[in-house]
Amino acid sequence: MPKGSAELTNARKEEIIAACRKLYETMSFKEITLKEIGQQTTFTRTSIYNYFETKEEIFLALLQQEYDTFTEVLESLCESREALSLDELASELSHALEERMLLLKLLSMNLYDMEANSRMERLIEFKASYGAWKDALDRCLQKFCPSIGEQGRQTFLYAFLPFIYGLYPYTMVTDKQKEALEKAGVSYVYMSTFEMAYACIRALLGGLHEC
């Protein structure tokens, strides 16, 4: 790690992550290289290695930021509302997911590669943010759905978490995929991210509420 203040280190990390975010808007994970990211920063490409050893570590830091922002949304929801009906909670969570398309895209396409090619210390930092998000979601369930109890919350979390990993590819179907489905004789009904998330969350909460 280069000499300098913590502020400089954090600023350079943020610049690298922001460059990665910008590239990912128009390029695929495989196309993006450290060289491409370096060309978007104000310092040399080799300097990136002082902060991140692989591009996967940069993407993991980007995903970590997405989880941190999501956690803030959930904490704000929990603090600002005294009560929510099941419909209202499902709607709030679905809107929050709808606003985190980058998170959903990274989860569905690149999570395994990011984790496998990152140093343990970077992975631990990421897992801490993931854990904080999961805890914030659990607190929302405790506050707004007290009747489902601890077992119900655990059931919800471990059904909901795998669900969001597959949400992006189901709602962001390309024209090529649509054509293939049509030619294969497979019916396809479009649902937005909000619609699909709401249907899942409401069904899970409703089923647990009735138990």
CATH number of 56-210: 1.10.357.10
Domain with CATH 1.10.10 in the chain: 1-51
Question: CB-based burial of residue 1 (10 Å sphere; 0-12 exposed, 13-18 middle, 19+ buried)?
Answer: exposed
Per-residue pLDDT of the chain (211 residues; tens, 9 = 90+): 455 688 888 999 999 999 999 999 999 999 999 999 999 998 877 889 999 999 999 999 999 999 999 999 999 999 999 999 999 999 999 999 999 999 999 999 889 999 999 999 999 999 999 999 999 999 999 999 999 999 999 999 999 999 999 999 999 989 999 999 999 999 888 899 999 999 999 999 999 987 6
Structure tokens at 139: 């607190």
The three-state DSSP-derived secondary structure of 55-89 is HHHHHHHHHHHHHHHHHHHHHHHHHHCCCCCHHHH
1-51: what fold?
Answer: Arc Repressor Mutant, subunit A (1.10.10)
CB neighbours of 137 closer than 8 A, spacing ≥ 6?
A: 74, 93, 157, 160
Domain with CATH 1.10.357.10 in the chain: 56-210
Structure tokens at 178: 């649509």
Structure tokens at 32: 């993006």
Please give the span between the terminal C-alpha atoms of the chain, in angstroms, as a whole number.
54
